[in-house]
Amino acid sequence: DASLTSCFSADQNIKRESGRKVQTGNISAAKMLLDPMGGIVMTNDGNAILREIQVQHPAAKSMIEISRTQDEEVGDGTTSVIILAGEMLSVAEQFLEQQMHPTIIISAYRQALEDMLETLKEISTPVDTADRSMMLKIVHSAINTKALSRWSELACSIALDAVKTVELDDNGRKEIDIKKYAKVEKTDIEISKEEDFARILQMEEEYIQQICEDIIRLKPDLLFTEKGISDLAQHYLMKANITAIRRVRKTDNNRIARACGARIVSRTDELREEDIGTGAGLFEVKKIGDEYFTFVTECKDPKACTILLRGASKEILAEVERNLQDAMQVCRNVLLDPLLLLGGGAVEMAVSKRLMERSRALTGIEQWPYRAVAQALEVIPRTLIQNCGASTIRVLTSLRAKHTQDNSVCWGVDGETGTLCDMSVLGIWEPLAVKAQTYKTAVETAILLLRIDDIVSGHKKKDKDGQMGGQGAE
């Protein structure tokens, strides 16, 4: 420890905290993210607000960064990770105060996570992805509390159709996108005489003419390129009755190629007949508002698509785009892993009950943190009740009592009224992949922060001139 501290310069302000104080501070920082005044409840998209807020405490920073990986993995559940991880740290505080070693708590948490994931699979329900009405219900569950819910029927159909369009089944393995390789070629040129410049211009014209002849030879109707098109090239192409669209983004080019069955080629002399996409039926340019849009439609078997959003303001469009992304992520998760769980906190109560039952078979002090995980899971239905303004104690007690009865795993909290109801009747579903990833990320975040018991921080002092002091300062 002494050698670690001595590696800092004497001109730096050193602040070091160790032991129980660090662990308590980490838990307190995690709790701060749950404060209703902190901003998380001010938006329907937790990941969006987490991209904007800034925190100074290292534990809170870690929670935010790890929770954002949830969105990258499955596209949903970011806020649930923050809430659940914070609660798991909160219930661990009592064991730290009782001088229980963090490794014992961590061991119990890991065992609980295994049992949680096992229980999720047991209570999950398989879904027929070909059942459009059921798939639309699942998507609706993801956006019914968001800004897009006003156009829920249209949005759900768009999201489902878009994901179905880009779905690619390759020998039983589903893929979303195909990346193209990019070829890079370099050349240089040296001019020593004035005559060379005229010759270079002539060579350029000959080169452009050759490129256009390579293209015209295959008799296409439409040409897309990521680069520019010179006036001379446009002249040759127009004479051949070929429409050319220039400076297309690479991502758009890839989608166009998938939609019409074409292949992107880097060199015109490598063009073959099979590289030409013949799947597109109609090409047209439309003016919408003040902008022109190019449409490639009536494709035979498109594996790419474009969703065009129109709105009154940039803010509304940005929110609708986020909501639509969530809806498409839900479709994608269900198509890749067609298993569903009931929402509204029903799953958390069922898993909590199962953990409490299994904890009775445990011996030793690990049973207490194991049971604490079961207690922490109740934070999800409790938060739903609080957001509705209902009586937390009364409704949560009723929900616990309901789950002690047989065949009651489907009962949860109505997110609008705060009352108990059958989630299967209400039609609130969520993918198993999202819930499993939420539990994994939340538990691993709590474990990561429980491991930390020593923080060393410091910064360089400023000298009289306002410059940074210490070795190496200029």
Provide the number of structural domains found in the chain.
2
- The answer to whether residues 367 and 421 belong to one domain is yes
- The answer to whether residues 76 and 2 belong to one domain is yes
pLDDT of 131 reads: 86
Is 160 among the domain residues?
no
pLDDT of 444 reads: 87
Q: CA 320, CA 192: separation in Å to the nearest integer?
A: 58
The active-site residue, picked from 45, 71, 115, 414, is 45
- Please report, for the domain that includes residue 379, its CATH number: 1.10.560.10
Residue 390 has pLDDT above 70, yes or no: yes
pLDDT of 56 reads: 54
Give the confidence band of 116 by pLDDT, cuts at 50, 70, 90: very high
CA distances from 396 to 183, 358, 380, 391 (A): 61, 22, 11, 8
* Strand, helix or coil for residue 50: helix
pLDDT of 37 reads: 44
Q: Kind of pairing, strands 173-175 and 291-297?
A: unpaired
For residues 277, 280, 283 and 286, what is the CA-based torsion angle, rounded to 10 degrees?
Answer: -120
Residue 137 has pLDDT above 80, yes or no: yes
Is 334 among the domain residues?
no
| CA angle at 348 for the pair 342 and 352, rounded to the nearest 5° | 135
CA distances from 21 to 56, 96, 462 (A): 17, 10, 29
Residue 48 has pLDDT above 60, yes or no: no
- Does the annotation count 78 as an active-site position? yes
- Please report, for the domain that includes residue 232, its CATH number: 3.50.7.10
Residue 313 has pLDDT above 60, yes or no: yes
Q: Kind of pairing, strands 339-342 and 125-126?
A: antiparallel
Tell me which amino acid residue 401 is.
A
Mean pLDDT across the chain: 75
**Which residues make Cβ contacts (< 8 Å) with residue 26, sequence separation at least 6?**
59, 89, 449, 450, 452
- The answer to whether residues 285 and 407 belong to one domain is no
The active-site residue, picked from 326, 383, 414, 445, is 326
- The answer to whether residues 365 and 291 belong to one domain is no
- Does the annotation count 290 as an active-site position? no
Domain span holding position 31: 1-127+339-451
Q: CA 288, CA 285: separation in Å to the nearest integer?
A: 10
Residue 446 has pLDDT above 80, yes or no: yes
The active-site residue, picked from 71, 78, 438, 441, is 78
- Does the annotation count 165 as an active-site position? no
pTM, rounded to two decimals: 0.65
Is 270 among the domain residues?
yes
pLDDT of 51 reads: 54
- Does the annotation count 103 as an active-site position? no
Give the confidence band of 4 by pLDDT, cuts at 50, 70, 90: very low
Tell me which amino acid residue 268 is.
T
